[in-house]
Amino acid sequence: MPKIEFRSIWTWFTKDFLGILHEMRWSYVPPLMVYLAAGISGFTGIIESFFVKEELGLSAAFLAGLGFWAGLPWALKMPFGHLVDLYWHRKSLFVYLGALLMAGSIGIMIGLTGHKTFMATIMALDSWYVIATLVSPVGFVLQDVVADAMTVEAVPSYDENGVKIPHDEFERMHITMQTLGRIAIIGGSAIVAGVGGWLAMSMSYYAMYKLSLIIPFISILGAIIGAWNVRRLRKHYRRSGCSEEEICEVLRPEVCTMKPNWYILGGGIVFVIMSVILGMSQFAAKKEVVFFASLTIVVYLMRQLLKDLDPVKRRDIIGIAIIVFVFRAMPGIGAGASWWQIDVLKFDEAFFGTLRQISSILAIVGMFALRGWMSRRPIPYLVIFLSVYSTLMMMPFVGMYYGLHEWTEKVFGFGARTIAIIDTMADSPMGQVSMIPMLAWIAREAPLEQKATYFAVMAAFTNLALSLSSLGTNYLNEIFVVARGQYGELGHLMITVTLIGLVLPVTTVILVNWRNRSIGM
């Protein structure tokens, strides 16, 4: 028996945990390098905060408003995605343009930190900073749209001999691709969080910003490798005797024949204009209006994308989208939980930093370890499992509100910090389990000729769930009022959030599956 168990563990370790390294392909490298560039983009985040505080006369309110405008380019993902599809044979240009914008933003900060007097003769330093802040996100959005679509292209439907890849292996490859993508982003962020803080103590702001010019270069290198790989495959298939029609079936045609979809472009532009107008208004319920109007536009665009699909496939896609949306829309506890941990449990900044480091490291380990398990489970199963698991992981904090840590301190000799570390260690590996299958599902279902558009629209739909989650959190905090130093309602808030997060996703899975079976009969 022990021998069999050891063999099973060894098989899991070599196939699932280390298998991700064996399954690496050249086609995976280009989007991973773009994602890595996004992950390490926070390299200068620490010094930027200090620079703004010390050198610029910008108020907290102005910076908050600037944050709104800096986030607005992400609303352009849908029209940008369609443009990328229309000019897919020139996709590298979008990456180069994004890199140029990123480099321009970094160049402005190099000027502000190293040549402040000269920069001030041209324009006010505050104005330079605003331009740098607004330009950079546009570059990242352009590259993100291309990288998302490249993850679809990176997973081939045929092997290098022209043989169609079996369905199970094809699904596993998509899980691998999306897992590597999340590792590139999270790993890059974790690396620069530590290295950036350490270098900030020994290097000048000017030197740090000059060093950060490597970020756009990484994404450019990814685009170059991607173009080289496509040319390599085309030559290989031609030498193998494949016709141009067969090569176009395996690879994306070099010339795009798709016509612009004005519903997508127009809907995306309306979405941006509406967000700008409402974001600047003083309308009391503007968050709700923005959410429901955005949801209406995105659902309409989804309908345009899915209308030509087989009815059964369209029903399955809509069902999965609804399940993922509800799962991601579950409300959180809000800032009151952090205040309580600081004031009552006496968690300090260093301890919160420790928890974040543990969470990042174990999230990456979890992605390696659970990749195979994720690929073998359908999304409805994963949603139910994660809903139950999240409920269990919430129990220790609910228990500590009612004195669990005091009891464990007396009986077992450990208190709140130990419980928090154990809970974080148990919960963190599951942190990306919901995200990776969702991204793999979007990539797997994306039509080859509209992969960037499809990815952008479906991602916009699932990301709107996070806006609904924020609204739900706000509503619950109005019902259960938690203020700094006043935590009498926090226990009820915790229990309510936990029950909603368990009941609604599970009920949604049951109802969607029941409806699909009823229609299928």
pLDDT digits (tens, 9 = 90+) for 463-519: 788 778 888 888 888 888 888 788 889 899 999 999 999 999 999 999 998 887 776
The rounded distance, in Å, linking the Cα atoms of 121 and 137 is: 26
Contact 88, 452 (CB under 8 A): yes
pLDDT given for residue 61 in this prediction: 59
DSSP for residue 339: H
pLDDT given for residue 429 in this prediction: 66
Contact 329, 469 (CB under 8 A): yes
pLDDT at 68 over 90: no
State the Cα angle at 419 between 415 and 424, rounded to 5°. Answer: 150
The amino acid occupying position 410 is: K
3-state secondary structure of 376: coil
Tell me the two tokens of residue 426.
Answer: 């148990």
Segment among 129-143, 372-386, 448-462 with least mean pLDDT: 448-462
Segment among 288-292, 330-334, 512-516 with least mean pLDDT: 288-292
pLDDT at 295 over 80: yes
The rounded distance, in Å, linking the Cα atoms of 108 and 374 is: 43
pLDDT given for residue 102 in this prediction: 92
β-partners of residue 158 are 164
pLDDT given for residue 91 in this prediction: 82
Output 7 or 178, whichever has higher pLDDT: 178
Among candidates 400, 278, 426, 292, which has minimal Cα distance to 337? 400
Segment among 142-151, 221-230, 377-386, 418-427 with least mean pLDDT: 418-427
Segment among 67-71, 240-244, 248-252 with least mean pLDDT: 248-252
Tell me the two tokens of residue 429.
Answer: 């590996």
The rounded distance, in Å, linking the Cα atoms of 104 and 469 is: 35
Which of 62-66, 452-456, 476-480: highest mean pLDDT?
476-480
3-state secondary structure of 461: helix
pLDDT at 137 over 80: yes
pLDDT at 371 over 60: yes
State the Cα angle at 126 between 278 and 132, rounded to 5°. Answer: 70
Segment among 212-216, 338-342, 352-356 with least mean pLDDT: 352-356
Tell me the HSE value of 273 on the side-chain side, using a 13 A CA sphere. 7
β-partners of residue 486 are 483
Tell me the HSE value of 392 on the side-chain side, using a 13 A CA sphere. 10
How much is the average pLDDT of 62-73?
70
pLDDT at 256 over 60: no
Cα dihedral value 172, 177, 180, 181, nearest 10: -140
pLDDT at 64 over 70: no
Contact 98, 137 (CB under 8 A): no
End-to-end CA distance of the chain: give it in Å, rounded: 45
The amino acid occupying position 139 is: G
The amino acid occupying position 457 is: V
> DSSP labels for 232-296?
HHHHHHHHTT--HHHHHHHS--SS--PPP-HHHHHHHHHHHHHHHHHHHS--TTHHHHHHHHHHH
The rounded distance, in Å, linking the Cα atoms of 429 and 427 is: 6
Contact 37, 218 (CB under 8 A): yes
Output 502 or 432, whichever has higher pLDDT: 502
Segment among 101-105, 234-238, 239-243 with least mean pLDDT: 239-243
Q: Which helix (H) or strand (E) holds 37?
A: helix 29-39
The rounded distance, in Å, linking the Cα atoms of 518 and 521 is: 5
The model's confidence at residue 419, banded by pLDDT at 50, 70 and 90, is: confident
Contact 112, 129 (CB under 8 A): yes
Which of 57-61, 379-383, 429-433: highest mean pLDDT?
379-383
How much is the average pLDDT of 81-85?
83
Contacts of 71 (CB under 8 A, 6+ apart): 137
Q: What is the pLDDT of residues 140-189, one digit of tens each?
A: 889 988 888 888 878 877 776 667 788 777 878 888 888 888 888 888 87
Share of the chain above pLDDT 70, in %: 84
The rounded distance, in Å, linking the Cα atoms of 385 and 370 is: 13
pLDDT given for residue 440 in this prediction: 80
The model's confidence at residue 1, banded by pLDDT at 50, 70 and 90, is: very low
Backbone angles phi, psi at 157, to 5 degrees: -80, -20
Q: Which helix (H) or strand (E) holds 472?
A: helix 451-479
pLDDT given for residue 304 in this prediction: 80
Considering the chain, what is the average pLDDT of its residues?
80
pLDDT at 15 over 70: no
Output 429 or 126, whichever has higher pLDDT: 126
Domains located in the chain, CATH noted = 12-261 (1.20.1250.20), 305-520 (1.20.1250.20)
pLDDT at 433 over 80: no
The rounded distance, in Å, linking the Cα atoms of 275 and 110 is: 32
The rounded distance, in Å, linking the Cα atoms of 419 and 425 is: 10
Q: What is the pLDDT of residues 301-321, one digit of tens each?
A: 888 878 877 888 888 888 888
Q: Which helix (H) or strand (E) holds 186?
A: helix 167-200
Tell me the two tokens of residue 465.
Answer: 């769930």
pLDDT at 232 over 90: no
Contact 92, 227 (CB under 8 A): yes
